[in-house]
Amino acid sequence: MASSSYTISELASEFEVTTRTIRFYEDKGLLTPKRDGQRRIYSASDRVRLILILRGRRLGFSLDESREIIDLYDPVGQRTSHSNAKQLTRYLEKIQLKQSALAKQLKDIKVMQKELKQAELRCLDALKNI
């Protein structure tokens, strides 16, 4: 495959964030693009990490939580820290914690959707009766 690299403004416009936001994530150690002189060069994997960070952001995660999520996606076995049972169990617990947090959020969304639906109906009804 061809060289898949990106400039900061390419990523910024693709994901509709400011360049400041992307630089901020680098400052916090979440992204580590290469450099061409002063210019930042982002790889395909940098781009994937950014996608994960921004999805976390949309769900209200802190950067530390997104950092964890990225670590959780890291394939098992590619890191020596996962090579023993103790680490794997700890890792599994973290995954399950995130899962229950997501389940709770899903519940919140469904409740809010139901309530908005009702508000919509009340509104349509009021419009009809004008």
Partner DNA sequence: TTGCTCCTCACGTCACGTGAGGTGGC
Question: Does residue number 112 form part of the binding site for a copy of itself (CB under 8 A)?
Answer: yes
Q: How many residues of this chain bind a copy of itself (CB under 8 A)?
A: 43
Looking only at residues 72 through 101 of this chain, which bind a copy of itself when binding is defined by CB under 8 A?
72-73, 75-77, 82, 84-85, 88-89, 91-92, 95-96, 98-99
Stretch that binds a copy of itself, among 15-23, 33-41, 42-50, 69-77 (CB under 8 A): 69-77
Cα–Cα distance between 8 and 23 in angstroms, integer? 8
CA 112 to chain CA centroid, Å, is 22
Residues from 61 through 100 that contact DNA (CB under 7 A): 62-64
DSSP per position, 21-87: HHHHHHHTTS---EEETTEEEEEHHHHHHHHHHHHHHHTT--HHHHHHHHHHHSPTTSSGGGSSHHH
Binding site for DNA (CB under 7 A): 7-10, 17-21, 23-25, 28, 37-40, 57, 62-64
